[in-house]
Amino acid sequence: MEKSYHDYIFESKHKKQKKIFFYLYVIMITFRALEEFVKEKLPTFGNEKRDYILSVKLSRLQIIRREFV
């Protein structure tokens, strides 16, 4: 049975979505690692500065999520 144009488009979108979710997953892991790094390696910063750094990282992650989803 031949694939219709609709089937081809659906498969193409599905592959793109899988790729996007994979990249989002990698980005989330990266930000979690950065969060742990900031908590462990930068104890000399006050809590306010550390929280500010983490909030900037998380806001960037949310912006990236909005662009992809």
Amino acid letter at 40? E
For residue range 20-66, what is the model confidence (pLDDT) as tens digits?
Answer: 888 888 888 887 887 777 777 666 666 666 667 677 777 776 666 66
Dihedral of the alpha carbons of 56, 57, 62, 65, in degrees to the nearest 10: 150
Question: Considering the domain boundaries, does residue 6 fall inside one?
Answer: no
Question: Considering the domain boundaries, does residue 59 fall inside one?
Answer: yes
Question: Considering the domain boundaries, does residue 2 fall inside one?
Answer: no
Question: Considering the domain boundaries, does residue 38 fall inside one?
Answer: no
- Split into its structural domains, the chain has a count of 1
pLDDT band at 7 (very low <50, low <70, confident <90, very high): low
Whole-prediction pTM:
0.47
